Amino acid sequence: MVILACVWEVISRTGVINPLFLPPFSVVVTEVYHGFASGYLVQHVMASLGRAVPGLLLALLAGVPLGLALGTSGRLNTFIDPVVEVLRNTSALALLPVFTLMLGIGETSKIAMVFYAALWPILLGTINGLRGVDPLWIKAGRSMGLSGGKLFVKIVIPASLPSIFTGIRLAAAAGLLVLVAAEMVGSRAGLGYVINASQLDFDLPGMYAAILVLSVVGYATNAALVLVETHFLRWKQT
Amino acid sequence: MTTQPARPIRLRFENLSKSYPATVRAGRNATGNLVLKDIELDVFEGEFLVIVGPSGCGKSTLLDLAAGLSLPTGGRMVLDGRTVTKPGPERSVVFQNYALFPWKTVFDNIAFALAAAGVPRRTQYERVRRVLALVGLEDAADRYPHQLSGGMKQRVAIARSLSVEPEVLLMDEPFGALDAQTREDLQVELRRLWRRNNMTIIFITHDIDEALSLGQRVAVMGRAPGRVVDVVQLPFQPDAAVDEIRTHPEYGELRRYIRAVLSHPDAATQAAV
């Protein structure tokens, strides 16, 4: 990370890449600092998070139960499986105009975009988790006298958690990606908007500052999820 | 070869058959897959019975039926005079691949079985400690299964099964995945636990030496369809050490006989009991 920053600084300062197009790292960092000090960047980060977090939470609330239902019921699964496959291979970005058309250019359509993009990784992670449950654990649970709901809550769900968590992390990344694109196209706030608007104003330090902040937000989100994950999955072999 | 001691019968395989429905691929003429045919076998109270058979003879299916994990398609499985229809806390199963829950510590794995059996929380701690001491793993209580060796995992699995104080312990090739040294250690330990706890044990294996070292009687199975070919009464004392058993004058002859029956079921000197 440090090396990357140094290389960036050097190639810009020495003119290998025109500093007009790639301002030195230190300049961008200063820009970030000013952005936060003035509250300008804070406002846009909050705008982005205000869309990403509800979208992800909704995807979680819908995806996990839906995945559990689909993964448990064989018949439901064979029926729904093709539908899921088609929908998840339909790029969320391709649907951007559709969402805008249906839900307007306001917050709702952005949150819906994040929701849509994040839903599939969570759904598939949950279904895969259920498929990966070792039948021997079920057998052991049954031999102890557990059945039905207890078996599901005490054995099937804990055994599926690793895969569900992987799905959640992929979902967060997918959600952010789509959100930025949506903000670039039709929004007056958020990091995606800042990146696009700065570029149009030829405020390149401002653009890079927003990109840098975006990377940090993505990185921090992932790190936070990993932290939660390791807490719940202490038992995993690492 | 069989002399039946006058002991109460704990488990009875009564004219038991098990077949799985014909698969679609087998076509409409298929009558289904007969895994076990007319199994007649009594297991006495406090007995250590070993079932030995070639792979694919349905011996694991037999154990599932005794555990109540699956139901017979013919005949019935009887425990203390009542037909078995589901698993119960008086029977406990030890599986070959341990079946420990990787997301739970050793302590929690055992406490889980206790909770499932309805043991109140406040007595769980003491009981977990006691069974861990029994298998020599007091110090491993807070570890996760992946931090244990195969032998330790199977010790935990045995401790977990013993924790509910079962009357019948059903063991499905429990030492099959262990190295020779660990396997012998655990055989000795199991004999000790059996003498101490006065349990009835049904132990499944494909290893003749293991069958001879552990059991009081050995039921030999044949396959296609799975059936009991002969039941051999072993002459060894219940408190004999494994080494004593292996050097017993009759050991070699018994070993040869069981081996012969396994490869040629017709070699059995008498029909199954």
What average pLDDT score do residues B86-105 get?
90
Query: Which pLDDT tens digit goes with each residue over B187-232?
Result: 888 888 888 888 999 999 989 989 988 888 998 888 878 888 888 8
**A42–chain B nearest CA distance, Å:** 40
| Cβ-defined contact of B67 to A143 (cutoff 8 Å) | yes
Q: Is the dihedral of CA B57, B60, B66, B68 positive or negative?
A: negative
Q: In this structure, which amino acid lies at residue B272?
A: A
pLDDT score at B22: 64
Query: Which pLDDT tens digit goes with each residue over B57-91?
Result: 888 888 899 898 988 888 888 888 888 888 888 89
Q: Using a CB-CB distance cutoff of 8 angstroms, which residues of chain A are in contact with residue B164?
A: 144
pLDDT score of B27 more than 60: no
- Percentage above 70 pLDDT, chain A: 99
**Domain extents for chain B?**
9-90+168-267, 100-165
Which of 199-258 (B) contact A at CB < 8 A? none
Which own/partner contact pairs does B156-159 have at CB distance under 8 Å and 24+ positions apart?
Answer: B156/B98, B156/B100, B156/B106, B156/B109, B156/B110, B157/B94, B157/B95, B157/B98, B157/B99, B157/B100, B158/B94, B158/B186, B158/B190, B158/B193, B159/B110, B159/B131, B159/B132, B159/B134, B159/B135
Beta strand pairing status for B227-233 and B217-222? antiparallel
Residue with tokens 């190295």: B179
Phi/psi of residue A86, each to 5°? Answer: -65, -45
**B115–chain A nearest CA distance, Å:** 9
**Nearest residue on chain B to A234, alpha-carbon basis:** B103
Q: Using a CB-CB distance cutoff of 8 angstroms, which residues of chain A are in contact with residue B71?
A: none
Which one has a higher pLDDT value, A207 or A236? A207
| Cβ-defined contact of B103 to A159 (cutoff 8 Å) | yes
Among candidates B97, B104, B113 on the partner chain, residue whose Cβ is nearest the Cβ of A144: B113
The pLDDT mean for chain B works out to 84
The CATH class given to the B9-90+168-267 domain equals alpha beta
Q: What is the complex's ipTM, to 2 decimals?
A: 0.83
A29 Cβ neighbours under 8 A, 6+ residues apart: A212
Q: DSSP assignment of B43-82, as one string?
A: EETT-EEEEE--TTSSHHHHHHHHHTSS--SEEEEEETTE
pLDDT score at A49: 93
**Nearest residue on chain B to A232, alpha-carbon basis:** B103
Among candidates B99, B103, B117 on the partner chain, residue whose Cβ is nearest the Cβ of A145: B117
| Cβ-defined contact of A141 to B89 (cutoff 8 Å) | no
Which one has a higher pLDDT value, A85 or B67? B67
pLDDT score at B249: 85
Burial state string for A116-142 with b = 16 or more CB within 10 A and e = fewer than 16: bbbbbbbbbbbbbbbeebeeebbbbbb
Query: Which pLDDT tens digit goes with each residue over A125-167?
Result: 999 899 889 999 999 999 998 888 889 999 999 999 999 999 9
Phi/psi of residue B217, each to 5°? Answer: -130, 150
pLDDT score at B23: 60
Among candidates A139, A143, A235 on the partner chain, residue whose Cβ is nearest the Cβ of B102: A235
pLDDT score at B24: 56
pLDDT score at B215: 87
Domains of chain A (ranges; CATH) run 29-232 (1.10.3720.10)
